[in-house]
Structure 1
Amino acid sequence: MSNQIVVVGHLRVAEDDRDAYVADCVEVVCQARAAPGCLDFVVAADPLEPDRVAVVERWASRADLDAFRSSGPPDEQWARIRDVQVVELDIPQHV
């Protein structure tokens, strides 16, 4: 049985762009949630820091995550990100 992959952390974008950035992520969230092996995928505005966007992903396997990432977000979306602080956790599945 393969391990579950959890991605958690945050992105930093311009304060005046944060809400638009999160809104522009709706399509990516929909694509992720429809992707094989996606167990959860959330991109949300931080309620305290005006430039911070929280990210949480859960995938059934590394292969599922890698397959989704190969179809990743458009370059213009990446260009808006000023900093990325995320970790990937490899979580053993228990029977």
Structure 2
Amino acid sequence: MIIVAGEIDVKPGQRDAFIEGSLDAVRAARAHPDCQIFSVAPDPIEADRVTILEQWSSMDALDAFRADGPENSLTSLITAARVRQHELGQTTLD
């Protein structure tokens, strides 16, 4: 299992535009059979920050999505990013 998680800071006043611009990627990821979680959400305290959370079944699935995913023109809105990728063994909390 692959987890991608972290924070992205955007230019002042651009958080809503960043989230709106991310919707195609969110929809595409959630439609992918190997994506369990994909979220781009506003931080509840920091006005110019979004939180990223993704969960994929494998690195191959994530790589395939990134290769075929929608083009992202949001890079110019980003001022800082602290996003990490983690590979985990299968675990459940049932």
Confirm or deny a common fold (TM above 0.5). Answer: yes
Alignment of 1:1-95 (within 5 A): 4-94=1-91
> How high is the sequence identity, in percent, across the aligned residues?
38
TM value normalised by structure 1: 0.87
CA distance in 1 between counterparts of 2:56 and 2:62 reads 6
Cα deviation, 1:35-82, whole Å, max 9, x if unaligned, reads 231011000010100111100000000100011111345342122211
Runs of 5+ unmatched residues, structure 2: none
TM value normalised by structure 2: 0.88
Runs of 5+ unmatched residues, structure 1: none
- CA positional deviation for 1:23: 1.5
- Secondary structure of the structure 2 residue equivalent to 1:24: helix
- CA positional deviation for 1:25: 1.1
